[in-house]
Structure 1
């Protein structure tokens, strides 16, 4: 047994299915997503897949929720590791850093979000709810809420530009933008 097969044995089936579905959507787009293909890629039976996700829509919703949860966990980790340890701006800085670190692979998320919209626009409701909570945290982070919101929207704008290939800045300019946004997230009202 090779190391990849051993590693897969240690991953819960639900997670394997989500990883396989995400991979199919990234590589082939939502139109090509079938439960059979996802089951095959995940190394599970179709019945095993249906046990966790009773429909294609439920599977896509699961992928969107997993992406949101991973992002949220990364923000929480960054808040804990914030060197400044001051209350002001910790949440905003963590959001900016997590978004910028994800922006380089944001183009991989485009097909997943497009697939979610294709199958059921309401499948993005959990992401909308998460953004409402994140925006609340940003507005109540001890910074000027206009300033912190501008920083969040700029970070999101970069993420969307990279995701959809809309003239994203080169690495040097991207780093300068990141540094400037992090400064916005350190200034006190």
Structure 2
């Protein structure tokens, strides 16, 4: 179990570096130093930078999707449950979304072909949202608006003040209850 814990710590360190220092600073040495392990200890888990980036998108993508699955299964109202889970996770789970954001950035700037595997999972999620029992146009607007807000926050452009952000969330949630 310690091995999985160490692996997760290494990925968290890689995520921290990408988020706070930039992708160009993501090196094996930097990850090992930030995680407080030897380079050999890092190489035991990840033989190269590509392996770290691959593991980031796989683990953080799966964590994000797992959070959505859990939230959608907790919903009392069946219609719109995937849309509401997506809104709730994206708006209120900064740890999960930040990890996925840094993984997406790492992939985009180092190994864009890895986006294809994540995109397959995202397409399944998109289908779940579009077939959520609410008007498909509302479901698409919810997904696109939530993604747009998330991406604007990742890149720090077009950001909303807290009050307007809350109003947007409330409007999207309201749309998630509008039946077909």
Common fold, TM-score beyond 0.5? yes
**CA offsets, 1:43-64, max 9 Å, x none?**
2232222222222011012112
Q: Structure 2: 5+ residue runs without aligned partners? A: none
The answer to whether the 8 A contact 1:29-1:115 is kept is: no
1:97 aligns with 2:88: yes
Question: For 1:35 and 1:27, how far apart are their aligned partners in 2?
Answer: 16
Question: For 2:55 and 2:95, how far apart are their aligned partners in 1?
Answer: 23
1:146 maps to what in 2?
137
TM-score by length of 1: 0.84
TM-score by length of 2: 0.88
Alignment RMSD (CA, Å): 2.3
Question: For 2:142 and 2:94, how far apart are their aligned partners in 1?
Answer: 15
The match for 1:43 among 11, 36, 41 is: 36
How far does residue 11 in structure 1 lie from its aligned partner after superposition? 7.0
Q: Which runs of 4+ in 1 moved over 3 A?
A: 102-112
TM alignment of 1:1-189, pairs within 5 A: 12-82=5-75, 85-102=76-93, 112-189=103-180
Q: Structure 1: 5+ residue runs without aligned partners? A: 1-8
How far does residue 91 in structure 1 lie from its aligned partner after superposition? 1.0
Computing the radius of gyration over CA atoms, which structure comes out larger, 1 or 2? 1
The answer to whether the 8 A contact 2:23-2:106 is kept is: yes
Report how many residues are paired: 179
